[in-house]
Amino acid sequence: MFTCSIKDVEMKFETSPKLFSPNAIDAGTLAMLSVAEFHDDDKVLDLGCGYGVVGVLAAKLIGADRVTMSDSSPVAVEYAAKNANLNEVPGVRAVISNGFMDIGDKDYSLILSNPPYHTDFSVAKAFIEKGFNRLKLGGRMMMVTKREDWYRNKLTAIFGGVRIWHIDGYCVFMSMKKGMSYAGKVKK
Residue 116: φ, ψ to 5°: -70, 100
Residue 186 reports pLDDT greater than 50: no
DSSP summary character for residue 186? P
Rounded CA separation 52/119 (Å): 22
Q: Give residue 154's pLDDT.
A: 96
Q: Give residue 188's pLDDT.
A: 44
Closest C-alpha to 178, from 147, 138, 135: 138
- Based on the number of CB atoms within 10 Å of its own CB, is 96 exposed (0-12), middle (13-18) or buried (19 or more)? middle
Rounded CA separation 145/39 (Å): 24
Relative to beta strand 108-113, strand 93-96 is unpaired
**Percent of the chain surpassing pLDDT 90:** 91
Kindly indicate the confidence band of residue 77, based on its pLDDT and cuts at 50, 70 and 90: very high
Residue 17 reports pLDDT greater than 60: yes
Q: Give residue 116's pLDDT.
A: 79
Phi-psi region of 138 (alpha: psi -120 to 50; beta: other; left: phi over 0): left
pTM of the model: 0.95
Residue 44 reports pLDDT greater than 70: yes
For the chain, domains (ranges, CATH) are 27-176 (3.40.50.150)
Average pLDDT over residues 81-105: 96
What average pLDDT does the structure give for the chain?
94
End-to-end CA distance of the chain: 54
Give the distance from CA 124 to its chain's centroid.
Answer: 12
Residues 115-169 pLDDT 10s: 876 667 889 999 999 999 999 999 999 999 999 999 999 999 999 999 999 999 9
The letter for the amino acid at 160 is G
